Structure 1
Amino acid sequence: MNRQELVKAIADDTGHSQAAVGEMLNSLISKVQDAVAAGDKVALVGFGAFDTASRAERQGRNPATGQPITISASRLPKFTAGKAFKDQVNK
């Protein structure tokens, strides 16, 4: 399911216009991204939680030359599915 299909499905379920649902979805995504980027955790009970994870500095290799390189430490977004979501997937 892509974004447009999701917007259409939500609009059909709720009776709202696709434009309104699209704006709400954009707002939700923006707020989750802002919160996670600020270091906050966003938990949606029954669905899951968005958080950050840290990746330590490590050694890697340039695939073109084979030379060793240092890959700097970074933070990345992480999603952990909630129990209800996991249970639904494993039915």
Structure 2
Amino acid sequence: MIKSELIAILAEKNPHLYLRDVERIVTTIFDTISDALANGDRVELRGFGAFSTKERSSRIGRNPRTGEQVSVDAKLVPYFKCGKEMRENLNK
């Protein structure tokens, strides 16, 4: 599912809301989660899951085209752990 599909489904389930309002709500939620992760915070949505960041250490990688060794810097990557209710729903 892509963002536009999510917005269309939510708009369909909430006919009292304008499509542009649903789009603004979804965008605001995603932006807020992104901002929180960028600030080093953890975002937990009960029954759905938790978003956090993990640090990847620096390493030596390879350029797939030339095979040359390349230094890859340390970086933060987003991490999602699904909640108990979601896991149970997936494994029914």
Return the TM-score normalized by structure 2: 0.90
**Residue 19 (structure 1) shift:** 1.1
**Residue 64 (structure 1) shift:** 2.0
Aligned residues: 91
RMSD over aligned CA atoms reads 1.1
Partners of 1:66 and 1:88 in 2: how far apart?
44
Return the TM-score normalized by structure 1: 0.91
Q: Which moves more between the two structures, 7-16 or 79-88?
A: 7-16
Correspondence for 1:82:
83
Matched, 1:14 2:14: yes
Partners of 2:7 and 2:67 in 1: how far apart?
45
Tell me the secondary structure at the aligned position of residue 46 of structure 1. coil
Matched, 1:72 2:73: yes
Aligned sequence identity (%): 36
After TM superposition, the structure 1 = structure 2 runs for residues 1-91 of structure 1, keeping only pairs within 5 Å, are 1-15=1-15, 16-91=17-92
**Residue 67 (structure 1) shift:** 1.8
**Residue 2 (structure 1) shift:** 2.2
Partners of 1:10 and 1:18 in 2: how far apart?
9
1:20-74 Cα distance to aligned partner (Å, 9 max, x none): 1100000001100000000000000000111101001111112222222211111
Paired AA for residue 8 in structure 1 = A
Partners of 1:2 and 1:62 in 2: how far apart?
31
4+ aligned runs moved over 4 Å, structure 1: none
Partners of 1:86 and 1:11 in 2: how far apart?
26
